[in-house]
């Protein structure tokens, strides 16, 4: 299994990072929505701590993913893809990368401005991004929540587009991200 991507397939590392991010973000959003409604108690504190640890982990994964993207190759769009579609996909991906950074950073900022502790999986305490400040706290909270909903909306769009490629266009876009090989539906075989 090739680590690197080629013009026809996503490499193992790109796929691992993509799906780990998808699972992790789903988990973080789920925890985020659930924890805020928990009654005040130790369970709530522990769930918040887990949400924050998962979020910080995802920040690390996002940074690795972006660095890897600079080094890695990537598949060409399926032949005959309209230019607007290629552009729209590109724009969505840029926004998704932005949100992958914005979510954990805004959460971290909110947590700092609120004066809460931040410990990564009971192992390391991370520094504050800001001193406790009610105005900044409110701002960062809004940023975090709006960013989360924007992410959810974009991912729905993104996944719908992937399914559209798979089911309607019957091309290999999703197969390539799932690591199915050799690309079964390509009209032009790799050289």
Partner 1 sequence: MTVATRLRFALLVSLLVQAAAGVPGAAAAAPAYEVDRAQSSLTFVGDQQGEKFIGTIRSFRAAIRYSPSDLATSLLDVSMDLKSIDTKNSERDAALATAVWFDYAHTPVATFRSVGPLRATKDGAVADADLVIKGKSKRITFPFRWTPAAGGAALDAKVSLDRLDFGLGAGEWADDSIIGHRVDVIVHLALKPAAPSP
Q: Does 49 bind ligand HEM (CB under 6 A)?
A: no
Only one of the segments 35-43, 79-87, 88-96, 173-181 lies at the binding site for partner 1 (rule: CB under 8 A); that segment is 35-43
Q: Does 103 bind ligand HEM (CB under 6 A)?
A: yes
The one among 37, 39, 71, 122 contacting partner 1 by CB under 8 A: 122
List Cα–Cα distances, 62 to 69, 96, 102, 134, 166, in angstroms. Answer: 10, 10, 10, 29, 26
DSSP state of 36: T
Distance separating alpha carbons of residues 35 and 29, to the nearest angstrom: 10
Output the CA torsion sign for 97, 160, 75, 55: positive
Q: Does 36 bind ligand HEM (CB under 6 A)?
A: yes
Output the CA torsion sign for 98, 101, 107, 109: negative
Q: Does 36 bind partner 1 (CB under 8 A)?
A: no
Distance separating alpha carbons of residues 116 and 108, to the nearest angstrom: 10
Q: Does 40 bind partner 1 (CB under 8 A)?
A: yes
Q: What are phi and psi of 49, to 5 degrees?
A: -60, -40
Enumerate binding residues for partner 1 (CB under 8 A).
40-43, 45-46, 49, 114-119, 122, 125, 132, 134
Q: Which residues would be at the binding site for ligand HEM (CB under 6 A)?
A: 18, 21-22, 25, 28-29, 32-33, 36, 48, 51-52, 55-56, 58, 69, 74-75, 89, 93, 96-97, 100, 103-104, 107-108, 110-111, 118, 144-145, 148, 155, 158-159, 162, 173-174, 176-177
């Amino acid at each position: 299994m090739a680590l690197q991507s080629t013009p026809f397939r996503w490499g193992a590392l790109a796929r691992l990072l993509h799906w780990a991010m998808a699972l992790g973000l789903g988990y973080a959003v789920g925890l985020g929505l659930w924890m805020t409604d928990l009654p005040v108690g130790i369970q709530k504190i522990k769930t918040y701590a887990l949400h924050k640890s998962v979020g910080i982990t995802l920040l690390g994964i996002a940074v690795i993913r972006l660095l890897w993207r600079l080094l890695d190759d990537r598949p060409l769009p399926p032949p005959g893809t309209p230019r607007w579609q290629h552009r729209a996909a590109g724009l969505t991906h840029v926004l998704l990368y932005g949100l992958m950074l914005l979510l954990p950073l805004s959460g971290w900022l909110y947590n700092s401005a609120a004066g809460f502790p931040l410990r990564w999986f009971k192992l390391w305490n991370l520094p504050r991004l800001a001193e406790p400040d009610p105005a900044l706290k409110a701002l960062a909270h809004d940023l975090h929540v709006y960013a989360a909903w924007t992410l959810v909306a974009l991912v729905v769009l993104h996944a719908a587009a992937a399914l559209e490629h798979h089911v309607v266009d019957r091309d290999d876009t999703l197969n390539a991200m799932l690591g199915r090989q050799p690309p079964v539906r390509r009209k032009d075989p790799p050289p």
